[in-house]
Amino acid sequence: MNTPFRAPGHGRVDRDTALSFTFDGTAYTGHPGDTLASALLANSVHHVADGIKYGRPRGILAAGAEEPNALVQIEAPFPEPMLTATTLELYDGLVARGLSGQGKLAAEPDTARYDTMHAHCDLLVVGAGPAGLAAALAAARTGARVVLVDELPEPGGSLLGSQELIDGAPALTWVDEVLTELADNPDVQVLSRTTAFGHYDDGLVLALEKRTDHLGAAAPAHVSRQRIWRIRSRQIVYATGAYERPVAFDNNDRPGIMLAGSARTYLNRFGVLPGSRAVVFTTNDSAYPAALELADAGVRIAAVVDVREEVPEHWRTACAERGIGIRAGHVVTGTSGIEHVTRAHVAPFDQGNLGERQGVDCDLLLVSGGWNPAVALFSQARGTLRYDAGIGAFVPADGPGNVRTAGAAGGTFTLSGCLTDGVDAARQALSAIGRTGPETAPPATAPLPGGAPTRVLWRVPSPQDADDSPEGAVQFVDLQRDATVSDVLRATGAGLRSVEHVKRYTTIGTAHDQGRTSGVMTSGIVAEALGVDVADLGTTRFRPPAVPVSFAALAGRNRGELFDPVRVTAIHPWHVEHGALFENVGQWKRPWYYPRAGETMEEAVLRECRAARTGVAMMDGSTLGKINVQGPDSGVLLDRLYTNLMSTLKVGRVRYGVMCGADGMAIDDGTVIRVAEQEFLLTTTTGNAAKVLEWMEEWLQTEWPDLRVHLTSVTEHWVTIPLVGPRSRDVLALVAPDLDVDNDAFPFMSWQDTSVAGVAARVCRISFSGELAYEINVPAWYGITVWEALCAAGSGFGLTTYGTETMHVLRAEKAYPIIGQDTDGTVTPQDLGMSWVVSKKKPDFVGKRSFSRAENRREDRKQLVGLLPADERVLLPEGAQIIATSDIPEPPVPMLGHVTSSYRSDALRRTFALALVRSGTRRIGETLYVPLDGRAVPVTVTDPVLFDKEGARRDG
Amino acid sequence: MQLITCPWCGDREEIEFHYGGQAHIAYPEDPYALDDEQWAQYVFFRDNPKGPFAERWVHSAGCRRWFNAVRDTVTHEVLAVYQAGAERPAITSTAKGQEASR
Amino acid sequence: MTVETPARFSPLAEWQDRLAQSPAGFQVRELPCLTQLTLRVQPGGAAAKAVESCLGVTLPGPLRAELSGDVEVLWMGPDEWLLVAPDGRQDDLLARLRSAIGDEFATVTDVSAQRTTLALSGDLVRTVLAQGCAIDLDPRVTPAGSCLTTLLAQAPVTLVVHDGAASGVRLLVRSSFASYLAAWLVDACTEYR
């Protein structure tokens, strides 16, 4: 199979295999080893997208990640937006279309796998070009653990796109030898198709490996499509190469205009001729090999336009041998052709003045404005950059001790220099971590003839500079953002003096390519406009990610059921089996309510509430935090941390307690039981378990290390089952035959160890509903067994399981606050109407001193009250604001507080709410208003306890 | 992901730790000898230096120990870690004073 | 009424079959209902010596586990160890230790059901764990006897390396996180099936 734009004998694509693909609706073929860009060029497709702002046709400028133009959207096999055609490996069945800067995310879920892998090494080498390979090899030979990542499908970097020799043989022979040696070393990992995109603290580099993208629809479903590598390395060598930069001239955006080095890559790596008649415009030597190799492959080089007066003799000779004319001291001032470049306008350029223009016909205009070291990652590592006036680029200056560059990334552009640099960088890196080993000598390369320095040229003056007409020719700086030289000048004209500001004003460098071809040029143009030195102006800071990374890749396997850990209790399988709906409480899944067939949530909750108040009901309370407190000073510690007195608690008894911060605000509450003289067990709210333990440890470890107390979390050791309701005693008696359940023998706020359903259990008589209630604790392994035994024993009493919603209603009817729902960190126990829980006897405890602060003694603090909507069917939304007047005033509306809890009550046969209201206690009996859907709903302020105020129900 | 050196467990990723604010803020000997202003100083006011800052951290996902770290608030570099109760080591600023650009 | 032994269910009882289907190179199974006690004692003191003599081992230092005895001793913190013994030993061990400690200050707490244990083995163990563990598990860095309390994926775990090739690893995980971790491990193996 042959096409006119494939050069015989060139390239590394497999021409024996054809891959079919579709671009912009037309079917084409390419070969394994092609990128979409190379395959398009081989099919003579040059217009691949349109500019985002002006809609001008755009072609392929580059051959790699620096491509600003050729953005595509994959339509099949799976939609994916915003990929560069130059990095997209071709596969059979690819359907893509060109994009003008804005893609479209897939509407259907992405079923591909994405994952993450951690790696650790002594040396991470980024980039497997000559410098990177030399560094990795030198390091590997010392026995160091080495990771080498490279973005291309195969290592070699620039060597894949050149015809250079190493040790007298084609450079890729050396590459193969190096790879063989590295592959045999178990301490070396070479990752191809892997782009390092972020440098983070302490030697952490994130890299994206595209593992199966290149397989298209044939990608195996069980292998992750992309993988984020989290590589923690003691030393890092960035051998990331350099990007060629263009020069700005009129209409420099036409399809058919390409970076010279990229054309060389298309020829040597892909066997693709990007045109048939080329003009080469250069400011430096590097375009000559491109011109010569393309000429040798059959491209007619119409002219080499070199801005420099002096062209090295060996290039002159080589060009003359091929009949290529060199126009030294000339520039390209502009182009003709809209869909495709048809002519380059060439003019003498002397002291900044243009001479007479002449047209040179061409279908390919190659440009080289010099090379910018790829310093993004080095810069992310807080490496500083310095302007090198000789090459017109920013090069690494000072880096942190664990980071260095090698090769072109450091401004070394010769092959021999890169190889030596790689070896040196590895040696320095290893020596920095005290590792030595056999020295590796860089391989030999042919001596280079002397070259001539780069002439730094950012833009060619426009012949139309005098012409102010908006219809005039345009000089583009950032081709993706359609930002022009005029835009830059408008920014400096508006007074902007910093490239960071110019970047934001013009959007230059903010596209997918991060300004790889436009950033330095922008600094140059701004410097010229301001009359300052580029070295003083600097360049913009680089930030991760250096290449676009999909959220799917960043999320990895943390999606679906693995998105966030789901914590479950030992009884969870039973809840699932019995149709519970679940509520997320922190990471826990808690049964919310257990609907029966056809029941709404409201009906189910009212039914569950009724069972608890009139019969018997139970719930899974295992998520409560539980902390075992042991040691001779346990009582002392608890006295200091709870507002009430715990040391006087008798063994066998239970006490409710509140903890406050030093500011006096309630932070948690729960029960404390005294297990033994030197042992307590306390409970925390579900969401606060870890925080409370950490808080207690903070005091213990940092403030009172002399206290002999140990704190141990036992949250998941125990399953906790509240058994609630007037008939709970009857049910318990059936499963706990050894227990005397009589009220006198087992009074409120006491606990007993007994056997429940044959399991050693601790039963507490505590109540979070106001009803007669027990809390049964057994080791979690027995949770389901005991739960089911209770179900069986309760069946004759209509035992009903209930969830968190019913628990909330029952406790709210009794005004038991939920810390974090009825409080928000600004609420004291007194505000909650719980002065009784604040000890007057204890000389001090955490929070006590703050209670006497003037702010905390104000009469008009917000206090917890009940609210009864005048219309007993109206359910106030939690969070609703409360105002004093029936008409809603103009903003700002003076607000008195907000609704913290709001429910429908079966016991009260109406809706009710709890609220924090300014001077709430004093307002009991008043009518206030809650703005709701544009009207003010009247509510009566009440005492927060709305049910069984006298506490007659707790003993059954 | 920064590494923080737990005095007991060595280098761990920062996600394993929780922050506890400024270190070496002792609970007042006698809170009731302080007026409201002095007490508020203890409860609410903390230093906010540019440069080395002694902080409390806890290795939540590891050994659960609270310890102190001197962290440079300019570079985030942890300059020293030491056990709770130990004296703050003498550390002078290593911060280059560079403002992070936005 | 007949007296039956009440049924027990470990946190991963429902996962047994799925765990058994792991790929070649990665075996994982739950070691259910092991005895686990938290020991808190100041190392080097009289109480610590009493405990050591009772257990017949030296309490291991930071990041280490003492795996030679009948009771494995895992370092959890500078004054905290987790004692791991076969099923059903908690009452006996608690009594023995408390009696050995006597009036000294040291505490022992039964936490047997607080965590469950996963035994991993096979050539793929390190690779699978590297998907979610930020610590270098290379045997030269984390040799046999290492005991690391850290995060695996998003679950807190204690990771104990049992043999030198680092291919025998125990994971102790809080019971409430066990099914998350099991799901994570099963999913992590997808590629190797």
Q: Domain boundary residue among C89, C110, C131?
A: C110
Same domain for C71 and C132? Answer: no
Burial call B24-62: b when 16+ CB within 10 Å, e when fewer: ebeebeebeeeeeeebeebbeeeeeeebbbbbbbbbbbb
Q: Are residues C69 and C124 located together in one domain of the fold?
A: no
Residue C2 lies in a domain: no
Distance CA A477, CA A502 (A): 12
Task: Note whether C89 and C118 are same-domain residues.
Answer: no
In sequence order, what are the residues at sequence separation of 6 or more whose Cβ sits closer than 8 angstroms to the Cβ of residue A924?
A865, A941, A942, A943
State whether C147 and C126 are in the same domain: yes
Crossing angle of helices A130-140/A171-183, nearest 10°?
30
CATH number, domain with residue C96:
3.30.70.1520
Q: Which of A206, A702, A845, A848 to mutate to test the interface with B (most CBs of B within 10 A)?
A: A702
Please tell me the predicted confidence (pLDDT) of residue B95: 45
> Chain C 63-82, CB below 8 Å of chain A: which residues?
79
Question: Is the per-residue pLDDT at C193 higher than 90?
Answer: no
pLDDT at residue C167, as a whole number: 67
Q: Which residues of B78-94 are buried (b: 16+ CB within 10 A; e: fewer)?
A: bbebbebeeeeeeeeee
Do C143 and C155 lie in one domain? The reply is yes
With respect to residue C146, please indicate whether it lies within any of the assigned structural domains. yes
pLDDT reported for residue A408: 97
Calpha distance C135→C146 (Å, rounded): 12
Give the nearest chain B residue to A504 (CA atoms).
B102
Check CB contact under 8 Å for B8 and C78: yes
A662 in B contact zone (CB under 8 Å)? yes
Q: Which residues of A touch C173 (CB under 8 A)?
A: none
DSSP result, A576-593 = HHTT-EEEEETTEEEEEE
Q: Which chains touch B (3 or more CB pairs under 8 A)?
A: A, C
**Chain B contact present for C63, CB below 8 A:** yes
Residues 6+ apart with CB under 8 A from B102: none
Shared domain check, C184 and C140: yes
To test the contact with chain B by mutation, choose from C81, C82, C111, C151 the residue with the greatest count of B C-beta atoms within 10 A, namely C151
Pair (C73, C46) in one structural domain: yes
Asked if A230 is an interface residue toward chain B (Cβ–Cβ < 8 A), one would say yes
Q: Which domains does chain A have, with CATH numbers?
A: 113-243+371-450+546-561 (3.50.50.60), 572-622+717-811 (3.30.1360.120), 626-713 (3.30.70.1400), 858-956 (2.40.30.110)
| pLDDT at position A469 | 47
Task: List, in order, residues 6 or more apart from A176 with CB less than 8 Å away.
Answer: none
Residue C41 lies in a domain: yes
Classify residue C44: in a domain, yes or no.
yes
CB contact C134 to A (< 8 Å): yes
Confidence of residue C163 (pLDDT cuts 50, 70, 90): confident
Strand arrangement, sheet containing C106-110: C65-66, C72-77, C80-85, C35-41, C106-110
Q: Which residues contact A457 (CB under 8 A, 6 or more apart)?
A: A247, A283, A307, A331, A369, A392
Interchain proximity B58–A541, CB inside 8 Å: no
Length of chain C: 193
Q: What is the pLDDT of residues B28-49, one digit of tens each?
A: 999 999 999 999 999 999 999 9
Q: Chain A: give the shortest CA distance to residue B50, in Å.
A: 19
Quick one: residue A944, left, alpha or beta (phi over 0 = left, psi -120 to 50 = alpha)?
A: alpha
pLDDT of residue A466: 55
Number of Cβ within a 10 Å radius of residue A450: 9
**Which residue in B1, B8, B61 is closest to C62 by CB distance?**
B8
Q: Is A217 on the interface with B (CB under 8 A)?
A: no
Residues C56 and C23 in one domain: no
Domain termination residue (choose one: C61, C87, C110): C110
Q: Would strands A94-98 and A19-23 be described as parallel, antiparallel, or unpaired? A: parallel
Q: Do B64 and C77 touch (CB under 8 A)?
A: yes
* pLDDT grade for C47, boundaries at 50, 70 and 90: very high
Contacts 24+ apart (CB under 8 A), A461-470: A461/A333, A461/A352, A461/A353, A461/A354, A462/A249, A462/A250, A462/A333, A462/A334, A463/A250, A463/A333, A463/A334, A463/A345, A463/A347, A463/A354, A463/A357, A464/A250
> Residue B12 and residue C80: Cβ atoms within 8 Å?
no
DSSP conformation letters of A497-547:
-SHHHHHHHH-TT-STTTTTTTHHHHHHHHHHHHT--HHHH--PPP-S-SS
Q: Answer whether residue C95 is part of any domain.
A: yes
Chain A hits for C130, CB-CB cut-off 8 Å, are 117-119
* CA A358 to the chain's CA centroid: 53
Q: Is residue C48 part of a domain?
A: yes
What is the Cβ-side half-sphere exposure of residue C112, based on CA atoms within 13 angstroms?
A: 23
Cross-chain Cβ contact A710/C107 below 8 Å: yes
Beta strands in C7-146 (DSSP E): 27-31, 35-41, 65-66, 72-77, 80-85, 106-110, 115-121
Contact C78 B12 (CB under 8 A): no
Q: Which residue of C has its CA nearest to A204?
A: C134
Q: Please check whether residue A150 is in contact with residue A240, taking contact to mean a CB–CB distance below 8 angstroms.
A: no
CB contact under 8 A, B66 and A230: no
Question: Are C118 and C174 in a shared domain?
Answer: yes
Closest CA to A48 of A76, A79, A73: A73
Min Cα distance A337 → chain B (Å) is: 41
Residue contact A718–C113, C-beta within 8 A: yes
Whether the ω angle into residue B49 lies within 30 degrees of 0, i.e. cis, is no
Distance between CA atoms of residues A909 and A918, nearest Å: 28
Position with higher pLDDT, B98 vs A570: A570
Domains identified in chain C, total number? 2
- How many contacts does A have with C, using Cβ atoms within 8 A? 126
For A261: left if phi > 0, alpha if psi spans -120 to 50, otherwise beta; the answer is alpha
Report how far residue A337's alpha carbon sits from residue A335's, in angstroms, rounded to the nearest whole number. Answer: 7
A115 to chain C, any CB pair closer than 8 A? The answer is yes
> Mean pLDDT over residues C7-27, rounded?
95
* Number of residues written out for chain B: 102
User: Chain A: nearest CA to C192, how far in angstroms?
Assistant: 8
> Closest Cα to residue A375, out of A240, A527, A203?
A240
Q: Is the pTM of this model over 0.90?
A: yes
Q: How far is C39 from chain B (nearest CA, A)?
A: 13
- State the pLDDT confidence band at B20, using cuts at 50, 70 and 90: very high
Contacts of A702 in chain B (CB under 8 A): 56, 66, 84-85
Tens of pLDDT, residues A850-866: 999 999 999 999 999 99
- CATH number of the domain bearing residue C130: 3.30.1360.120
C3 Cβ under 8 Å from any chain B Cβ: no
Task: Evaluate whether A674 touches A650 at the Cβ level (below 8 Å).
Answer: yes
- Does residue C66 lie within any of the structural domains? yes
Mind telling me how many Å the CA of A663 is from chain B's nearest CA?
6
**Are both C49 and C61 inside the same structural domain?**
yes
CA dist C60 and C79 (Å) reads 11
Chain B residue with CA closest to C155: the answer is B61
- Structural domain harbouring C134: 13-32+114-192
Q: Where are the alpha helices (DSSP H) in A718-770?
A: 728-735
CB contacts of A853 in chain B (<8 Å) are 36, 39-40
Amino acid letter at A541? R
Measured between CB atoms, does C174 come within 8 Å of chain A? yes
- Give chain C's mean pLDDT: 94
Are C125 and C181 in a shared domain? Answer: yes
- Contact: C183, A562; criterion CB under 8 Å: yes
For residue A415, the 8-state DSSP code is: H
d(CA C72, CA C66): 6
Asked if A629 contacts A693 with a C-beta cutoff of 8 angstroms, the reply is no
Q: Which of C76, C77, C150 sits opposite B12 (nearest CB)?
A: C150
Pick the closest to residue A518 from A527, A509, A526, A510 (CA basis).
A509
On the 0-12 / 13-18 / 19+ scale of CB atoms within 10 A, A622 is buried
Nearest CA in chain C to A779: C113
Nearest residue on chain C to A711, judged by CA atoms?
Answer: C40
Best residue of A202, A232, A379, A380 to probe chain B, by most B CBs closer than 10 Å = A202
Helices and strands (DSSP H and E) totals, chain C: 5, 10
Q: How much is the pLDDT for B97?
A: 39
Nearest to B96 by CA among A396, A384, A466, A286: A384
Q: Is residue A749 within 8 Å of residue A766, measured between CB atoms?
A: yes
CB contact under 8 A, A568 and C183: no
d(CA A22, CA A73): 12
| C-beta separation of A387 from A394 below 8 A | yes
pLDDT at position A1, please? 45
Mean pLDDT of B71-88: 93
pLDDT at B17: 98
Query: How far does the CA of residue C175 sit from the closest CA of chain A (Å)?
Result: 6
- Candidates B19, B24, B39: best to mutate against A (most CBs of A within 10 A) is B39
For A117, the closest of C10, C131, C183 (CB atoms) is C131
Interface ipTM > 0.85: yes
Chains touching chain C through at least 3 C-beta pairs below 8 angstroms are A, B
Chain A neighbors of B31, CB-CB under 8 A: 844, 848-849
Q: Report in angstroms the alpha-carbon separations of A277 from A3, A324, A726, C137.
A: 17, 12, 96, 58
Report the residue from C76, C134, C151 with minimal CB separation from B63: C76
> What number of C-beta contacts closer than 8 Å exist between A and B?
57
Q: Contact B1/A230, CB-based, under 8 Å?
A: yes
Q: Which two tokens stand for residue C76?
A: 């959890």
The residue among C51, C78, C110 that closes a domain is C110
SS3 of A680, please? Answer: strand
Is-contact C88 C172, C-beta < 8 A?
no
Within a domain: residue C7?
A: no
Same domain, C118 and C188: yes
Q: Which residues of chain B does A204 touch, with a Cβ-Cβ cutoff of 8 Å?
A: 1
**Residues of C whose CB is below 8 A from A779:** 112-113
Angle at A701 between CA A695 and CA A704, to 5 degrees: 100
Round to whole Å and give the CA distance between A513 and A548: 8
How far does A743 lie from chain C, in Å, by closest CA?
27
Question: Measured between beta carbons, which residues in chain C are less than 8 angstroms from residue B62?
Answer: 77, 149-150
Taking a C-beta distance cutoff of 8 angstroms, is the pair A461, A529 a contact? no
Task: State both tokens at B78.
Answer: 């942890």
CA dist., res. A903 & res. A601, Å (int): 12
Flag residues of chain A having pLDDT under 50: 1, 469-470
